[in-house]
Amino acid sequence: MAVAVEYYLLLSAAVFCTGVFGVLTRENALMFLISVELMLNSANINLVAFSHFYGNATGQVFSLFVMALAAAEVAVGLGIVLVLYRNFDEVDVRNATTMRW
């Protein structure tokens, strides 16, 4: 018996909101990265759920691409975090505010 698609959507929305909450409230750059990953993965859940719902593999293929994207993003993100640490001796995003008008 299959789980109804609404539940997947609820789960995905909950994960996404967690991610948004993390991005808006956290000061640690690592937590930022993790939150962004959460949001990406909530999108993945949606893709896979609908793929299963429609009996069509397109969504699953797409989710593979999203994972690859997430991996790349983490690579870049971690690089930024490392540079942040070298410059400020901590990874608080509130310190790096010089790139503005």
Partner 1 sequence: MVGAFDFTPAIPLLPFAAFLVAMLVGHFAPRLLPKGGAIPGILATAGSLLLSIWTFLTVSGGSYHAQDIYTWVVGQNTFSLHFGILVDPLSAMMLVIVSLVAVLVHVFSLGYMNDEGETGLPRYYAGLGLFTFSMLAFVVADNLLMAFMFFELVGLCSYLLIGFHFREPGPPSAAKKAFLVTRFGDYFFLIGVVGILATFGTARFVAVGDGVHSFPHLAEQALAAAGGEGTMPEHVAHFLDVIGMNAETWFAILGLLVLGGVVGKSAQFPLHTWLPDAMEGPTPVSALIHAATMVAAGVYLVARMYGFYALLPTVLAIIALVGGFTALFAASMGVVKDELKQVLAYSTISQYGYMMLGLGTGGYIAATFHLMTHAFFKALLFLGAGSVIIAMHHNEDMWDMGGLREKMPVTYYTFLSGSLALAGIVPFSGFWSKDEILYEALIYGAGDSPILLAAYAMGLLAVFFTGFYTFRMVFLTFHGEPRSDTARDPHGVRWNVKLPLVVLGILAATVGLVNMTPVAELTGLHIEYLHQWLVIPEASDFAALGYDNYHHLLEQFAGYHAADIGPLAPGAVSLALALGGAGLAWVLYNVDSPTEHTEKLGGVKTVLYNNYYQDEYQVWLAQGVTLPLARAADTFDQGIVDGVVNGVSSVSLFAGSRVKRIQDGLVTHYAALLTLGLVVLLVAFGLLEGWF
What residues line the site for partner 1 (CB under 8 A)?
Answer: 20, 23-25, 27, 32, 93-94, 96-101
Least gap, CB of 9 to partner 1 (angstroms)? 16
**What are the percentages of helix, strand and coil residues in the chain, rounded to 5?**
75, 0, 20
Give yes or no for a contact between 84 and 96, defined as CB atoms under 8 angstroms apart: yes
The CA distance from 27 to 57, in Å, is: 39
Q: How far is the CB of 50 from partner 1 (least distance, A)?
A: 20
**Shortest gap between Cβ of 11 and partner 1 (angstroms)?**
20
Query: In terms of CB distance, is 25 or 89 closer to partner 1?
Result: 25
